[in-house]
């Protein structure tokens, strides 16, 4: 996506300004625009992203972006239902981006967020959207990164729920401020995480179905041992149960908040924008484009020289100018 100067009359800029002003009703229009692949819409999407960038806001977007991943059947959607309610009880607005498997026939989402996550449809402080993963690796749909960035300007909490867990799921860490991995007791997930490398990713580990007693306690011990073997001493392990009445949900939210409070958010997001710009440039221009930049290291060096408040389209544009010079 090339950088397009924002104008006050452009559709994308107007949506971006509404999000920046915490107008939650702009969320559907924003995602419709960001998910479109039409060339004109991509230009408008660049204008929208400029309006919610640190350069326009004067700081990082205030919303807390949380990535939630875990194997199918671990209870992610049930947990999210309880989390959404608990966040609302604390007076926070919540957006959930549920990345679902794609239909091979239609290309659309196979699962529906509203079929899996329980919430009050009349609550205008809640926004939930399903996105088909398509052929995208990493557990994220192509527009998920842009959507999370845009919605974090308006919502207090933005959750990205990925398709599942595997070697390709770890790129949620390049989008989220805080990454939570869901573990189901008795499934052997701790050993699988060690093999796949996913244990290097989470900021919070969540053991679901804590009501199972000794099985859940054993899962916590296995995870603690796995974390010690990796030297990951700062990762919190939080047991939860979604069986009514849910338990551990407030502890989990407190763990998310504690991680965010201790995090250098500008630095994490700055690196995420640079990584995203490099990935987008590589997809658009391939190896030939990377060679024109002098290789990956030269591209990374160029990105670090740019204004740290620039949005991803502007960073991509800087790479394109260099490649064309």
Q: What is the pLDDT of residue 147?
A: 93
Instruction: Report yes or no: 205 and 236 within 8 Å, Cβ to Cβ.
Output: yes
Q: What is the pLDDT of residue 9?
A: 72
Nearest to 129 by CA among 119, 56, 7, 310: 119
Q: What is the pLDDT of residue 177?
A: 95
Q: What is the pLDDT of residue 92?
A: 98
Q: What is the pLDDT along the chain (325 residues), one digit of tens a residue?
A: 444 444 557 999 999 999 999 999 999 999 999 988 899 999 999 999 999 999 999 999 999 999 998 877 778 888 999 999 999 999 999 999 988 654 444 344 444 444 468 888 889 999 999 876 544 444 465 678 899 999 999 999 999 988 665 544 566 877 899 999 888 887 665 556 655 566 567 899 999 888 888 888 888 888 888 788 777 667 899 999 988 888 999 999 999 999 999 999 999 999 999 988 998 899 899 999 999 999 999 999 999 999 999 999 999 999 999 999 8
Cβ partners under 8 Å of residue 171, min gap 6:
137, 138, 139, 140
How many Å apart are CA 177 and CA 205, to the nearest integer? Answer: 15
Residue with tokens 């981006």: 97
203 phi and psi, to 5 degrees?
-95, -25
Q: What is the pLDDT of residue 105?
A: 43
Query: What CATH fold (topology level) applies to the domain 64-262?
Result: Rossmann fold (3.40.50)
The DSSP symbol for 266 reads H
Q: What is the pLDDT of residue 190?
A: 57
Which ranges in the chain are annotated with CATH 3.40.50.300?
Answer: 64-262
Q: What is the pLDDT of residue 6?
A: 47
How many Å apart are CA 239 and CA 244, to the nearest integer? Answer: 15
């Amino acid at each position: 996506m090339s950088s397009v100067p924002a104008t006050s009359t452009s559709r994308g800029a107007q949506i971006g300004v509404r999000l920046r002003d915490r107008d939650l009703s702009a969320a559907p229009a924003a995602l419709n625009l960001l998910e479109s692949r039409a060339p004109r819409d991509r230009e408008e999407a660049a204008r929208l992203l400029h309006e919610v960038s640190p350069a326009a806001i004067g700081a990082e977007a205030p919303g807390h972006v949380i990535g939630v991943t875990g194997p199918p059947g671990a209870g992610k959607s049930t947990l999210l239902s309880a989390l959404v309610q608990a966040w609302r009880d604390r007076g926070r607005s919540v957006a959930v981006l549920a990345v679902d498997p794609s239909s091979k026939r239609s290309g659309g989402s196979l699962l529906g967020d509203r079929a899996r996550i329980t919430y009050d449809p009349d609550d205008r402080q809640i926004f939930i959207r399903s996105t088909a993963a398509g052929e995208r690796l990493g557990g994220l749909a192509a527009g998920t990164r842009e959507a999370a960035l845009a919605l974090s300007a308006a919502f207090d909490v933005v959750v990205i729920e990925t398709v599942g867990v595997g070697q390709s799921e770890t790129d949620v860490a390049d989008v989220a401020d805080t990454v939570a991995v869901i573990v189901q007791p008795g499934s052997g997930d701790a050993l699988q995480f060690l093999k796949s490398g996913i244990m290097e990713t989470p900021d919070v580990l969540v053991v679901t179905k804590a009501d199972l007693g000794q099985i859940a306690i054993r899962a916590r011990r296995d995870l603690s041992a796995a974390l010690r073997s990796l030297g990951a001493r700062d990762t919190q392990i939080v047991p939860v149960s979604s069986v009514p009445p849910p338990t551990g949900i407030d502890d989990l939210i407190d763990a998310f908040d504690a991680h965010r409070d201790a995090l250098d958010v500008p630095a994490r997001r700055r690196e995420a924008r640079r990584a995203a710009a490099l990935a987008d440039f590589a997809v658009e221009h391939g190896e030939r484009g990377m060679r024109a930049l002098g290789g990956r290291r030269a591209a990374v060096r160029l990105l670090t020289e740019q204004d740290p408040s620039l949005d991803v389209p502007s960073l991509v544009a800087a790479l394109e100018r260099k490649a064309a010079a």
